[in-house]
Amino acid sequence: MRHVLSALVQNVPGVLSHISGMLASRGYNIDSLAVGETEDPRLSRMTFVVVGDNRVLEQVRKQVEKIVTVVRVDDVSSQEHVERDLMLLKVNATEGRLSDIRELTDIFRGRIVDVAPEMVIIEISGKESKIEVFIERMRPFGIIELVRTGRIAMVRGGSSGE
């Protein structure tokens, strides 16, 4: 089972390496990881995805909560939430294929953010499944480079996971 966890942490050097190192040393693999400052510049939010049963989830949560710089850990996937990935994709856009690429990009609600001779960079965000399908649709054009953020997620409505 896939679990999306959100950790509110103090925005200090070393927090990311401390948490990821601790999880790795205990044999837990992080499928996805995204970190960024919150509305309070003293705090950052780490969103990470781990795969395992409920026992694994509880162990990961308990281990992360023990870290001094961690303020709070929430299992976002256990609540109604919105989840997104962001991807930049550089693809071959030889003469005559740009219109096909543009059409697919529009269908997936992406946007072309850079155009160079014979290649374009596309930005697309959405659920992981949408990103995966878009990648498969772009493969025939020739993917040159692909970069993705980790998953980010937020609980729906007025609840902040407290």
**Same-domain check for residues 75 and 98:** no
Judge if 38 and 71 occupy the same domain. Answer: yes
Q: Which of 48, 79, 110 is the last residue of a domain?
A: 79
* 30-65 pLDDT, tens digit each: 888 999 999 999 999 999 998 888 888 888 888 899
Mean of pLDDT values over 132-160: 91
What type of residue sits at position 144? I
Res 120 pLDDT > 60 = yes
Taken in order 16, 21, 27, 32, the sign of the CA dihedral is positive
CATH number where 134 lies: 3.30.70.1150
Query: In this structure, is residue 116 part of a structural domain?
Result: yes
pLDDT surpassing 90 at residue 94:
no
Number of independent structural domains in the chain: 2
Single residue among 79, 111, 127 that ends a domain in this structure? 79
**In this predicted structure, what is the pLDDT of residue 28?**
86
- Tell me whether residue 52 is in a domain: yes
pLDDT band at residue 143 under the 50/70/90 scheme: very high
Region 67-88 average pLDDT: 93
User: Which has more confidence, 60 or 102?
Assistant: 102
Residue 95 is predicted with a pLDDT of 79
**Whether residues 52 and 70 fall in one domain:** yes
Structural domain span for residue 65: 2-79
Same domain (yes/no): 99, 54: no
Asked if residue 162 belongs to a domain, the reply is no
Inter-CA distances, 158 with 81, 152, 162, Å = 11, 18, 11
Instruction: Give rounded-to-5 percent helix, strand, coil for the chain.
Output: 30, 40, 25
Q: Is there a contact between 32 and 151 (Cβ–Cβ < 8 Å)?
A: yes
pLDDT at position 162 over 70: no
- Tell me which of 25 and 106 has the higher pLDDT: 106
CATH number of the domain that residue 70 is part of: 3.30.70.260
Does residue 102 sit in the same domain as residue 125?
yes
With vertex at residue 49, the alpha carbon angle to CA 58 and CA 3, rounded to the nearest 5 degrees, is: 50
When pLDDT is averaged across residues 88-117 and rounded to a whole number, the result is 95
Average pLDDT of the chain to the nearest whole number:
91
CB 122 within 8 A of CB 112: yes
Residue 159: per-residue pLDDT: 53
- Note whether residue 158 is domain-resident: no
State percent of the chain over pLDDT 70: 97
Nearest CA among 4, 33, 11 for reference residue 21: 33
What is the rounded distance in angstroms from the CA atom of residue 158 to the CA atom of residue 104? 36
Contact call for residues 102 and 115 (beta carbons, < 8 A): no
Same domain, 92 and 59: no
Same domain membership, residue 90 and residue 64: no
- What span, in angstroms and rounded, lies between the C-alpha atoms of 155 and 61? 17
